[in-house]
Structure 1
Amino acid sequence: MLVTGGGSGIGLAIARGFADAGHDVWVAGRNRASLEASGFAHVELDVCDGAAVERAIASVPPVDVFVANAGGAVTAPLLKMAPADWDQMIALNLTSVWLCARAAIPPMVERGWGRFIAIGSTAAIKGYAYAGAYAAAKHGALGMVRSLALELARTGVTANAICPGYTDTPMLREAMDRVTAKTGRTDTEASFAKANPMGRLIAPEEVAAAALWLASDAAAGVNGQAIPIDGGESA
């Protein structure tokens, strides 16, 4: 299996979960240091570069489970967002998922079995103030996954999305630090956790467990779904 953005956070938790379950794991990403520190076989990859994605897929052993996890968020009032930031959010969180699917799935179809899993967000199924471009991209990625699932339904390959709420990752911690620096608030973590009716952040390992289930034979009939891991936030 291969997971993008696999050097840290959710991607690294997924890599570890699959390795513990006996899978041959590759991680991909742009940060060489984090990839090397992961301890997994790795390939450097900018998921926004279609040719690079194709080269990466061709350079690793056959991939039966592909987890499109790489992404990021830029926050700003939607009507004041710079066009370059909008374009970046669409490229990183939507177009990259399509580029990965286009390269990874055809060999799965040829072999008659595969799992394509996009790591979305609750922003794929609801709106968030000041994260409109991110939400637009994640909504688009979910729509793409659902359409792809219908096209693949008779091939032995499934496509699904996992949609976590605020998850305790380095990326979220950096966002918390920015909020604290900008506002001077000391309750930043609590304010993020409050979005979850359970009153806590999601653990990356919870997302990894869902990915493992989707990759199992037990989930063979699960296709085109958005699976929230959010404590009921999107209920």
Structure 2
Amino acid sequence: MRKVALVTGGGRGIGREIALALGREGCAVAVAARTPDEVAATADELRRLGVEAAALDLDVSDADAIARVAGAVTTALGPVEILVNNAGLAESAPFAKTDGALWDRHLRINATGPYLLSRALLPAMLASGWGRVINIASVAGLRGAPYVTAYTASKHALVGLTRALAAEVAGKGVTVNAICPGFAATELTWRSARNIAAKTGKSFDDAVAALARLNPGGRLIEPAEVAGVAVKLLHDDATNGEAIVLDGTPS
């Protein structure tokens, strides 16, 4: 299928894997993030696969930048039909040390960014009668967890946005869903493991293993597994407003 996709946070980890998976499905893919070298590398990899690709510098908390990127993608590839809100932030702190700046930063990137992008790109999807909005949330958006109050609240907000927007566009050819991974084999998990090792004296490998055990499946989720769910959602007209848990829990 020749659809135009925009993947935020597409320079590494889950975003990169989703961008590559969409390219293999025949999509033209715009990759956007605040890391220009990484998104350029992902776009180059897509082009080597014969995929139309664009690399864009984007801070999802900047409304003006979002408007510019939306226009740039349309000019380069066409109107965006698939939006993957993957860019995110995860920082830990005890609640007593979760100050306003930390709180605002998480809400701005993890919730307001997807809101702004959806606002910018949804009208074209509705006008064409087909579209997909895929929000990469987290199991933290469905549960509570200590030391990540701001992150947890922001991911709950993203799941709430997903469900409300899905209800509003139901029956119009557009679906809105969230994928909620547990701990995944990404830089966010490695960063958490380094923090644990620094604070507890554990080795990095032991810290990673401890995080993996927090997933019901006892292992880290691979970015390619998240990408596989995203691809399935492209071809699924019936699934809408779901928060799909991906943490190894038996179905």
TM-score category, normalised to shorter length: over 0.9
> What's the % identity of the aligned pairs?
44
Pairwise CA distance, 1:206: 0.4
Pairwise CA distance, 1:63: 1.1
Pairwise CA distance, 1:86: 0.7
- 1:209 corresponds in structure 2 to 228
Pairwise CA distance, 1:85: 0.5
- 2:51 corresponds in structure 1 to none
Task: Supply the distance in 1 between the matched residues of 2:14 and 2:208 (Cα, whole angstroms).
Answer: 18
Task: Supply the distance in 2 between the matched residues of 1:106 and 1:79 (Cα, whole angstroms).
Answer: 41
**Which one of the candidate residues 144, 151, 159 is aligned to 1:127?**
144
* TM-score, reference length from structure 1: 0.95
One-letter identity of the residue aligned with 2:63? G
* TM-score, reference length from structure 2: 0.89
Correspondence 1:54 to 2:67: yes
Q: Which runs of 4+ in 1 moved over 4 A?
A: none
- 2:189–2:208 contact (8 Å) kept in structure 1: no
Which structure 1 segments of 5+ residues have no match? none
Task: Supply the distance in 1 between the matched residues of 2:169 and 2:126 (Cα, whole angstroms).
Answer: 8
Task: Supply the distance in 1 between the matched residues of 2:249 and 2:150 (Cα, whole angstroms).
Answer: 23
Q: Where in structure 2 are the equivalents of 1:27-176 lying within 5 Å? A: 27-38=31-42, 39=44, 40=46, 41-60=54-73, 61-176=78-193
RMSD: 1.3
- 1:9–1:171 contact (8 Å) kept in structure 2: no
Correspondence 1:7 to 2:34: no
Larger relative contact order (Cα-Cα within 8 Å, sequence gap ≥ 6): 1
Aligned length: 232
One-letter identity of the residue aligned with 1:197? P
One-letter identity of the residue aligned with 2:71? A
Deviation sequence 1:37-60 (CA, Å, 0-9, x none): 212421110100112112111111
Which structure 2 segments of 5+ residues have no match? 47-53
| Matched position secondary structure for 2:55 | strand
